[in-house]
A and B are shown apart, each in its own frame.
Chain A
């Protein structure tokens, strides 16, 4: 599925947060949205998920406008938020069933899809445990499994590794990459951690509301004349 953001600008009151941001995501690709804290990543996610209303510009998902056909567009998106959005007291399965119901799936369908995803994420044996008993890495995996229940073609992850240890972080990142390959899922992964990005990834660098770079990691490095992405990132954003 093609995703195209066209000329998105957004301001909170008089303060511009995004300035004419345009990009296209390649179907089935892993895209890293890189930017220091406060770059506008969360605002961009808010707009893509319709939590914020578009002020200027539009987003097209497989040609459908988020502005004009929000329901159609929303059906194609799975979202993993930065903060935990699971009910800690409910079981893993109850959390999944709730999400599936919100997307209009029947209970039977929901159980089927839920078990399938949990199995894939190696969490099926923990389906009836309350989420509270799971560690941070597993909770995140549940959130990804949940985001995939309604079979979206685009998965948005807003700094999904916040608060995880190095091993869980790497595990999660690898896992999402395999989803791109196995399911043809398009992924937009927002982060401020350069080590989560590989040179061959499509990289979008956002800084102070502007898109400074958009392309394959190694191409951007070449264009900037830098050794690696870390250096490119520092040169472009001045981040230490």
Chain B
């Protein structure tokens, strides 16, 4: 197999994902309602309760909306990745997965490309969200929109791989409600998405440590810092390392017989 084969395959998978996105654009638009509700309604109600001091990467006092915007970017990716991973092994995407796995190219390459393609579509949604967030005064520096791109892609790959790993290996979590209760909400609430962790430390030190061990926290901090043009090596390092490990486990250990890709009942 030559490099050109890999390239054609990569482009083909990306193209298909965008075509499907375009076909289902109303579904994707409605997926933006959730983070917008958090940003417009929840944040308005909550800002009165929570005082934000000046913490890096911010240089002045910020509104609560500004604080949670990076967390909500993470939330968009989190929901999409979990939903995408489940659809890969249980429902909507089964046919396309069968076709995908018939490719002679190595399976880890195919799966990572697929996760990346789904991630890129999520990142597109994040940018639409950020545009709408301008309306409530979330205004990161202009270059921040570009600087945040690697963090967003990294996050989407990390969560996509996590989703694939969970969907393949934990049978109890084969429906979205299960994943929502046992993965999405715990990851989201036990992170720095909605509150700075020093606040959490004041309230409960052990919860603070759980948040620190949650890779989603570091992904959000990587998004937050790069969006404000600051380099946070810890957040980036941890997110990258976790992404690599999860991607390896999710793709190298991938077994179609643990999914519905084969058709029929689960083994």
Question: What is the interface of chain A, defined by CB distance below 8 A to chain B?
Answer: 12-13, 42, 46, 49-53, 70-72, 74-75, 77, 79, 81-87, 89-90, 94, 97-107, 146
Contact = CB atoms under 8 A, between A and B. Distances in A.
B6 interface: yes
A81 B19 contact: no
B20 A49 contact: no
Interface stretch (B8-16, B126-134, B149-157): B8-16
Contacts of B110: 102
Nearest to B16: A98
B4 A106 contact: yes
Query: How many B residues are at the interface, by size bracket?
Result: 35 or more
Given A71-B1, A75-B104, A101-B15, A106 B99 contact: no
A133 B105 CA distance: 32
Which secondary structure dominates where chain B touches chain A? Answer: helix
A53 B103 CA distance: 15
Nearest to A74: B104
Contact of B95 (A53, A87, A106): A87
A218 to B, nearest CB: 33
Nearest to A10: B257
A102 B105 contact: yes
Nearest to B24: A89
Contacts of B5: 103-104
B96 interface: yes
Interface in B234-267: 255-257, 261-264, 267
B19 A90 contact: yes
Contacts of A146: 99
B20 A102 contact: no
B147 interface: no
A147 to B, nearest CB: 9
A102 B19 contact: no
B23 interface: yes
A85 B96 contact: yes
Given A104-B6, A107-B8, A99 B256 contact: no
Given A52-B256, A94-B16, A102 B99 contact: yes
B9 A90 contact: no
Contact of A86 (B2, B11, B19, B95): B95
B118 to A, nearest CB: 14
A81 B11 contact: no
Interface string B83-119: 0000000000011101111111110001000000000
